C-alpha cells in the first residue's frame, strides 16, 4: 500500500537509458541526487567528503546501470551502492571522525524546498548548535548503528527496505535500531533539556 511513488517511472527511465538515451540518466540523477548526497552527508559527517562520495556513487551507478537486473527497485539498488561506498570509506579512515569534526558552517543548504523559518508549524530543527550536537551524536555511533539511523530516521525508509539495502534480516534491523537509538539517547542526554525545549520552541 505504501508504494514508493518514484518506482514506476524508474524502470521506464532505465529502459530509456539502456536504449542509449543519455538524458534518462540525468533524470535519475536529478531525482535522487539529494537523497544520495544527504545519506553521504549524514554518514560521513562533512560536506566535502559527502560531495566526493556522492560523485563517486553516481559514477559507479552509471557504469553498472546496464547490469542492473531490475529484481530490486532502482532506489534500493542506488542506496546499496551509496551505503557500501560510505561504509568502505569509513572503514578505511579509522579511527572515525572525532568529536567536533562536524563543521556547522556547512549547514548552509536550504532547509527544505522553499521553506522559510517562520512558516507555520515547521519543525525542522533550526538551532545550529543543536544540529551540531545531533550530528556529532550520529558520528559517535558505530558504522552499523549509524547506517540504521540514517536510513530510517533521516531517509525515512521502511524496515524491509533497510534490511534489503544493508543485506541483513528484519530482526537485525529492529535490534540495531533499538540499540542505536538507546546509544544516541545517551550521547544526547546532556543536552536533552535543550532538545525538549528546542522542539517545543519550534513547535509553538
Partner 1 sequence: MKCEDIQRLFSDYVDNELDFKENKLVKKHLSECRTCQEEWRELFQVVKITRSLPEIEPPSDLFQRVREGVSPFFKTRRILRSIARPLSFRVPAWGLAAVVLLMVLYLGRIFPFPQETAKLGIEGIPPSSTESDGARISEGKETTLAEVPSLDVIPHKKELPGKEREEPIRAKEEFEQEDRLAPGQSSRAPLAKVDDRDGVLSFRSVSRMKQTNVSITGPIMARKILNMVKPEYPNWAKEREVEGAVEIMCAVLPSGEVATPAIWLRSEWPELDQSVVQAIGEWRFEPIPGDEVQAGIVRIAFDFSED
Binding residues for partner 1 restricted to 6-35, rule: CB under 8 A: 9, 22-23, 26-27, 29-30, 33-34
Q: Given the complex with partner 1, which of 83 and 149 has the nearer CB atom?
A: 149
145 touches partner 1 (CB under 8 A): no
67 is an interface residue for partner 1 by CB under 8 A: no
Q: Per-residue b/e over 165-193, b at no fewer than 16 CB within 10 Å?
A: bbeeeeeebeebbeebbebbeebbeebee
Size of the site for partner 1 (CB under 8 A): 72
State the nearest-atom distance from the C-beta of 120 to partner 1, in Å. Answer: 6
Nearer to partner 1, 51 or 96 (CB): 51
CB closer to partner 1 out of 95 and 154: 154
Compute the least distance from the CB of residue 55 to partner 1, in Å: 5
The answer to whether 41 contacts partner 1 (rule: CB under 8 A) is: yes
Which listed range, 39-47, 70-78, 81-89, 92-100, lies at the site for partner 1 (CB under 8 A)?
39-47
Which residue, 89, 82, 80, is CA-closest to 167?
80
198 is a contact residue toward partner 1 (CB under 8 A) = yes
Rounded to a whole number of angstroms, the minimum distance from the CB of residue 49 to partner 1 is 12
CA distance 187 to 181: 10
Nearer residue to partner 1 within complex by CB, 55 or 94 = 55
DSSP string, the chain: ----TTHHHHHHHHHHHHTT-HHHHHHHHHHHHHHHHHHHHHHH-SHHHHHHHHHHHHHHHHHHGGG--SSS-HHHHHHHHHHHHHHHHHHHT-S---TT---GGGTTS-SSTT--TTSTT------HHHHHHHHHHHHTS-HHHHHHHIIIIIT---HHHHHHHHT--HHHHHHHHHHHHHHHHHHHGGGHHHHHHHHHHHH-
Contact positions with partner 1 (CB under 8 A) in 68-127: 106-116, 118-125
Closer Cβ to partner 1, 80 or 181, answer by number: 181
- Per-residue binder mask for partner 1 (CB under 8 A), 147-186, x = binder: --x--xxx-xx-x--------------x--xx--xx-xx-
- Candidates 76, 84, 131, 142; binder of partner 1 (CB under 8 A) is 131
Amino acid at each position: 500500500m505504501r508504494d514508493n511513488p518514484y518506482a514506476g517511472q524508474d524502470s521506464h527511465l532505465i529502459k530509456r537509458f539502456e536504449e542509449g538515451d543519455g538524458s534518462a540518466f540525468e533524470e535519475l540523477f536529478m531525482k535522487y541526487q539529494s537523497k544520495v548526497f544527504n545519506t553521504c552527508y549524514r554518514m560521513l559527517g562533512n560536506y566535502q567528503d559527502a560531495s566526493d562520495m556522492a560523485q563517486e556513487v553516481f559514477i559507479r551507478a552509471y557504469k553498472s546501470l546496464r547490469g542492473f537486473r531490475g529484481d530490486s527497485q532502482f532506489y534500493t539498488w542506488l542506496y546499496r551502492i551509496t551505503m557500501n561506498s560510505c561504509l568502505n570509506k569509513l572503514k578505511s579512515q579509522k579511527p572515525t571522525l572525532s568529536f567536533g569534526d562536524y563543521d556547522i558552517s556547512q549547514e548552509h543548504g536550504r532547509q527544505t524546498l522553499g521553506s522559510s523559518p517562520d512558516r507555520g508549524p515547521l519543525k525542522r530543527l533550526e538551532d545550529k548548535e543543536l544540529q551540531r550536537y545531533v550530528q556529532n551524536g550520529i558520528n559517535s555511533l558505530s558504522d552499523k548503528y549509524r547506517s540504521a539511523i540514517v536510513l530510517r530516521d533521516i531517509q525515512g525508509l521502511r524496515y524491509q527496505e533497510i534490511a534489503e539495502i544493508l543485506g541483513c534480516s528484519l530482526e537485525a534491523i529492529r535490534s540495531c535500531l533499538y540499540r542505536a537509538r538507546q546509544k544516541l539517547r545517551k550521547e544526547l542526554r546532556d543536552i536533552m533539556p535543550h532538545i525538549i525545549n528546542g522542539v517545543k520552541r519550534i513547535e509553538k
